[in-house]
Chain A
Amino acid sequence: MSFRTKIFLSITGTVVLAVWIVAAVVSTLVTQSFERRDAQRTASLVNQLQREFDRRGKDVARRVEAVAESDAVQRLAVNFGGGQFDASQSFTEAQALAHEQSLDFLELVGPDSAIISSAEWPARFGYKEDWLAQPVDWKAQGVFLKKEDLADGSALGLITVRSVTAGDKTIYVAGGQRLDKEFLDSFPATDGVRLQLYTNFEPLPSPESLGSKLAGDLVQDVRRQSRELTRVNDAATITAIPLQGRDKQLLAILLIENSRAELASLKRYIQGTAGAVGGGCVLLGLLLSFWTASRVTRPLRDLAGSVREVAVGKWDTRANVGSSDEVGQLARDFNGMTEQLVEQRDRMIQAERVAAWRELARRLAHELKNPLFPLQITIENLQRSRDSSPAEFDEVFRESTTTLLAELGHLKTIVGRFSDFAKMPTPQLEPVDVNQMAREVIQLFEAQLQAPGRPRVETKLNLAADAGEVPADPEQLRRALRNLVLNALDAMPQGGTLSIRTSRHDGKVAMEVSDTGEGLTPEECDRLFTPYYTTKQHGTGLGLAIVQSVVSDHKGTISVQSEPNKGTIFRIELKASV
């Protein structure tokens, strides 16, 4: 990951984190505010419902009171008191009275607690309502909840009781309204509020029928605890109010579900706005991050480019010093460093030149001194012979001139070598079969190797069939190969094995010339291709330099691998012909 990317990501992360923290804080504060408002609204609703219940209760009491004071009931009481009661004439009375007073439940009950007439279950006449026989001041009792048995099950009723006395007989009027969904639906509608009633004598409703799992769990909890509970989830605040009968048994649970849709909507709006603002901030942060990262890292990138330039040898490269900060100082230091490096390089080149000239002078002196000394001896011998023995002078003269010519030839050879190295021609490339060339070079040395008295050198050709051809100047390549073979033979004065191996891989052809001589030290390997460097007493130090020059002119590479006492391998790699 680049330095610019790191800076970019760091700044971006910082911006995103900051925006997220701000959004979270705002969201939390808004949520808490709405939670308080939601709780207040739920409490208000509960109060409103309780007031509505009270109002309905008073309404029920008024209607039942009206029934109790009706002529029909008064007449019924009188009939009872006078012993003229005929059940067949009265058992439908409650239905008419209930209809008249819009009551869902109405029972006229005799002094013996037997039902005279029942509006909700007409067939139930004659059955006992023992609970009415209790000594209770029913008017003071007011309105209460009661489970009413019906022909098709049970229902919850908001009930009140009035007694009517005639003589020593008292009959009871128990009436009320059904507390069901229809009853709840008649309550003043409030947006976002849903009322549900679960009656405890019905099978436990499924969460689906109650609208949510939360409501289902709440009903279970209230059934266990018999106290008002409130639960909240994302969708709604649900308050469950236990509805108890006269003897405190749990008859029903009223669920007030206050929708949090408005809150959720507002939260969504705030979150959306925060998201948009945050997104904008993040986007702006990204742009700023990008710009900042680019601006901050540009000098570094320039400096890195300068470093790369220097690395490829452009020592005169200078970094742009655009600021006075740490990066500017770094650029200045880099420029100072490169200046020093250039100076040191120049000095080194100068030194190396001097050393090379010295080495050349030494080599020239050494090479030229060897033939010059015999020349001097021969000429002095010739002078002495003419002075001391003129008779033999001719013989000496002939021998001396022969020697002189030989040595001059030797000198000429030396000069030619130096001349050749100085004037390496441009290679004339043509396809060259490397295997064929290896065979020719070995064949060239066969006679020399088999000369009598010469230590035995075994030759091996390990040529790859697919080695193929390389684009090369055949003369130069042959010369390079010959020099390597000569070098190998020189390395094996006591004899050994000379091997030439060819191979091809990755579009390149390799030629290896190896010997089993004494080998070279790593230091010798490092300097092996330096011109005029030799490890031999009679060498010019140009053989391997010429090989390297040829290989270099052919865009190839040469390497050496050697270990003392194990021999040396020279490896030439050239690009294969297509």
Chain B
Amino acid sequence: MRLPGWASLALSSLVISNFLTGAVRPRYGGTLTIELSTVWNKLDTGGFDSALSVPITETLVRVNSNGELEPVLAVAWQHDPDFKRWRFSLRPNVSFHDGEALTAATAAPSLLAALKPKYGEVSIEAGGQAIVVQSDREMPGLLEELALTRSAIFRKSDANPLIGTGPFRITAWEPGRRLNVAAFENYWGGRPYLDAVEIEFGPGHGRADLFDIPVGPAHRIFPEGLATWSSAPRTLVAITSTNSDVTLLQALALAVDRAPIANVLAQHKGEAAFGLLPQWLSGYAFLFNSTPDVVRAKQLVSSLRSGPTSLSYPANDLFLRSVAERIALNARDAGITIQPTTAGNANLRLMEWPLESNDTADELRRIALELGASDRTGSMDPAKPETLYQLERSLLDDHRIIPLLHLRQTYAIAPRVHFQPSTSGTFALRLEDAWIQP
């Protein structure tokens, strides 16, 4: 998929470029320390953070910053006219972290597992460095699917849960606590600059080389001289409900003033959201923009006879708690009584919805599935943006979800850490491009 030009422009504007510099020559060596507030208990190919890439595994292809597909582990591919049979030529001289060579046979199991959920019965023929994917269904979007991290090629062993072909290999893994990776000397693309990366999960001390800054009130005193980097808005904050009155949700959507939430509570780390997907991803999100209308909300509420409603938010999430309280305050102005709670049985749920891919159709499909409207995705044609808009519009008109914010992910980066401008131009912080100035 190709990203619109304005999206690339928006993304590039987010990068604070003092650490993305080529003014100093990259150096090899050093250990990069990272603190992540999110806790990972399970290792999978998706990485740890949608904006921070720890490249342990690789996919056959990937999407660059221009939205173009480019080869990674596959160097060439062809398909038949009806997109039912695809043939990929694997990159030669690629080996897994344990030394096993990448062949069609070693790649086939993980590939098959990744494609089955989407395409159902898929057969894979492996022969030498050629791998053939065949299905009874047409697979026109197969390359985009293969570009997703979930389609990465990997193996497992008793000692190592994730053996990939990426620039870093796992050296220590303690679920929920730490992950240590080291440079893969035999990486086909060349050894990364860093010798090792040590990642700690949970509330850190702000003393690492790189750490994420959670959205909301800052509770840390950061060392001076830190640079920050923010991703494109990648997390949707929304209210969902399956059992509340539609009119109530409609009134609530009108009553909530999103701008103070984005500007004050999120401290400019988010954008007011009226659509499900951010503008940079969909290109049409501005069409959903509206302003709060408390008068109209009151009119809608006056026709209701509902009592107090509860709005749950994740326990220990101070940001969502403050958002929930603000929503309750806005709702009260419209005559809606909302009680914020951490209990799980609330009528309304305030949740964060991280984007998993840069594919508009795929994200819409995922959201539709979550909202129980997957049957509507059949009319969607990724090549026709208006079908995507119509699907999102219909999902919004159901009033089962009220988008509030699209949040960015922000990281603090120590002055000694530098990122070499990526040749791939992706929007994540790529550790294979990072180097440390002694």
Residues of A within 8 A of B (CB): 87-89, 91-92, 121-127, 151-152
Contact A87/B263 with A123-B322, A123-B326 known, Cβ cut-off 8 Å: yes
Contact A123/B263 with A88-B268, A92-B217, A151-B340 known, Cβ cut-off 8 Å: no
Contact A88/B328 with A123-B322, A151-B340 known, Cβ cut-off 8 Å: no
Number of interface residues of B (CB under 8 A): 15
Contact of B264 among A88, A121, A151, A152 (CB under 8 A): A88
**Alpha-carbon distance A152/B310, docked complex (angstroms):** 12
Contact of B260 among A89, A92, A126, A152 (CB under 8 A): A126
Residue of B nearest to A124 (CB): B329
Residue of B nearest to A92 (CB): B217
B312-346 vs A: 1/0 string, CB under 8 Å? 00000000001001101100000000011000000
**Alpha-carbon distance A139/B325, docked complex (angstroms):** 32
Check if A126 sits within 8 Å of B340, measured CB to CB.
Answer: no
Shortest distance between the CB of A126 and any CB in chain B (Å): 5
CB contact list, B251-291 vs A, under 8 A: 260, 263-268
User: What chain B residues lie within 8 Å of A122 (beta carbons)?
Assistant: 322, 325
User: What chain B residues lie within 8 Å of A88 (beta carbons)?
Assistant: 263-268
User: What chain A residues lie within 8 Å of B340 (beta carbons)?
Assistant: 151
Shortest distance between the CB of A43 and any CB in chain B (Å): 44
Residue of A nearest to B268 (CB): A88
User: What chain B residues lie within 8 Å of A123 (beta carbons)?
Assistant: 265, 322, 325-326, 328-329
Shortest distance between the CB of B330 and any CB in chain A (Å): 9
Contact of A151 among B263, B266, B267, B329 (CB under 8 A): B329
Check if B264 sits within 8 Å of A125, measured CB to CB.
Answer: yes
Shortest distance between the CB of A102 and any CB in chain B (Å): 20
Contact A87/B264 with A92-B217, A151-B340 known, Cβ cut-off 8 Å: yes
**Alpha-carbon distance A88/B329, docked complex (angstroms):** 18
**Alpha-carbon distance A257/B187, docked complex (angstroms):** 82
Q: Can you list 20 A-B pairs with a CB-CB distance of less than 8 A?
A: A87-B260, A88-B265, A88-B266, A88-B267, A89-B267, A91-B264, A91-B265, A92-B217, A121-B329, A122-B325, A123-B265, A123-B322, A123-B328, A123-B329, A125-B260, A126-B260, A126-B264, A151-B329, A151-B340, A152-B339
User: What chain A residues lie within 8 Å of B267 (beta carbons)?
Assistant: 88-89
Besides A88-B267, A123-B325, 19 new A-B residue pairs in contact (Cβ under 8 A), listed by A number? A87-B263, A87-B264, A88-B263, A88-B264, A88-B265, A88-B268, A91-B264, A92-B217, A121-B329, A123-B322, A123-B326, A123-B328, A124-B329, A125-B260, A126-B264, A127-B329, A151-B325, A151-B340, A152-B339
**Alpha-carbon distance A139/B248, docked complex (angstroms):** 45
User: What chain B residues lie within 8 Å of A152 (beta carbons)?
Assistant: 339
Residue of A nearest to B261 (CB): A123
User: What chain A residues lie within 8 Å of B266 (beta carbons)?
Assistant: 88
**Alpha-carbon distance A526/B172, docked complex (angstroms):** 146
**Alpha-carbon distance A121/B340, docked complex (angstroms):** 13
User: What chain A residues lie within 8 Å of B339 (beta carbons)?
Assistant: 152
**Alpha-carbon distance A127/B325, docked complex (angstroms):** 13
CB contact list, B219-275 vs A, under 8 A: 260, 263-268
Most buried by B among A87, A88, A125: A88
User: What chain A residues lie within 8 Å of B325 (beta carbons)?
Assistant: 121-123, 151
Shortest distance between the CB of B168 and any CB in chain A (Å): 36
**Alpha-carbon distance A90/B144, docked complex (angstroms):** 44
Shortest distance between the CB of A87 and any CB in chain B (Å): 5
User: What chain A residues lie within 8 Å of B260 (beta carbons)?
Assistant: 87, 125-126
CB contact list, B338-371 vs A, under 8 A: 339-340
**Alpha-carbon distance A152/B322, docked complex (angstroms):** 14
Shortest distance between the CB of A127 and any CB in chain B (Å): 7
User: What chain B residues lie within 8 Å of A87 (beta carbons)?
Assistant: 260, 263-264
Shortest distance between the CB of A108 and any CB in chain B (Å): 13
Shortest distance between the CB of B259 and any CB in chain A (Å): 9
Most buried by B among A89, A124, A127, A151: A151
Shortest distance between the CB of B256 and any CB in chain A (Å): 12
Residue of A nearest to B327 (CB): A123
Shortest distance between the CB of B104 and any CB in chain A (Å): 53
User: What chain A residues lie within 8 Å of B265 (beta carbons)?
Assistant: 88, 91, 123
User: What chain A residues lie within 8 Å of B268 (beta carbons)?
Assistant: 88
Residue of B nearest to A151 (CB): B325
Residue of A nearest to B340 (CB): A151
**Alpha-carbon distance A123/B264, docked complex (angstroms):** 10
**Alpha-carbon distance A489/B210, docked complex (angstroms):** 157
**Alpha-carbon distance A127/B266, docked complex (angstroms):** 18
Shortest distance between the CB of B425 and any CB in chain A (Å): 31
**Alpha-carbon distance A124/B260, docked complex (angstroms):** 10
Residue of B nearest to A90 (CB): B264
Check if A151 sits within 8 Å of B328, measured CB to CB.
Answer: yes
Shortest distance between the CB of A245 and any CB in chain B (Å): 22
**Alpha-carbon distance A89/B265, docked complex (angstroms):** 9
Residue of B nearest to A125 (CB): B264
Most buried by A among B263, B264, B265, B325: B264
User: What chain A residues lie within 8 Å of B263 (beta carbons)?
Assistant: 87-88
User: What chain B residues lie within 8 Å of A121 (beta carbons)?
Assistant: 325, 329
User: What chain A residues lie within 8 Å of B217 (beta carbons)?
Assistant: 92
User: What chain B residues lie within 8 Å of A91 (beta carbons)?
Assistant: 264-265
User: What chain A residues lie within 8 Å of B328 (beta carbons)?
Assistant: 123, 151
Shortest distance between the CB of A349 and any CB in chain B (Å): 115
**Alpha-carbon distance A202/B322, docked complex (angstroms):** 26
User: What chain A residues lie within 8 Å of B329 (beta carbons)?
Assistant: 121, 123-124, 127, 151
Q: Across chains A and B, which 7 residue pairs bring their CB atoms closest together, nearest first?
A: A123-B325, A123-B326, A88-B267, A92-B217, A88-B264, A87-B264, A123-B329
**Alpha-carbon distance A151/B329, docked complex (angstroms):** 7
**Alpha-carbon distance A471/B329, docked complex (angstroms):** 118
Most buried by A among B267, B322, B329: B329
Shortest distance between the CB of A85 and any CB in chain B (Å): 12
User: What chain A residues lie within 8 Å of B326 (beta carbons)?
Assistant: 123
**Alpha-carbon distance A296/B339, docked complex (angstroms):** 89
**Alpha-carbon distance A124/B265, docked complex (angstroms):** 11
Residue of A nearest to B216 (CB): A92
**Alpha-carbon distance A127/B328, docked complex (angstroms):** 13
Residue of B nearest to A91 (CB): B264
Shortest distance between the CB of B336 and any CB in chain A (Å): 14
User: What chain B residues lie within 8 Å of A125 (beta carbons)?
Assistant: 260, 264
Shortest distance between the CB of A478 and any CB in chain B (Å): 115
**Alpha-carbon distance A121/B5, docked complex (angstroms):** 43
Shortest distance between the CB of B365 and any CB in chain A (Å): 34
Most buried by B among A92, A124, A125, A127: A92
**Alpha-carbon distance A127/B264, docked complex (angstroms):** 13
User: What chain A residues lie within 8 Å of B322 (beta carbons)?
Assistant: 122-123
**Alpha-carbon distance A15/B375, docked complex (angstroms):** 102
Residue of B nearest to A127 (CB): B329
Shortest distance between the CB of B321 and any CB in chain A (Å): 9
Shortest distance between the CB of A147 and any CB in chain B (Å): 16
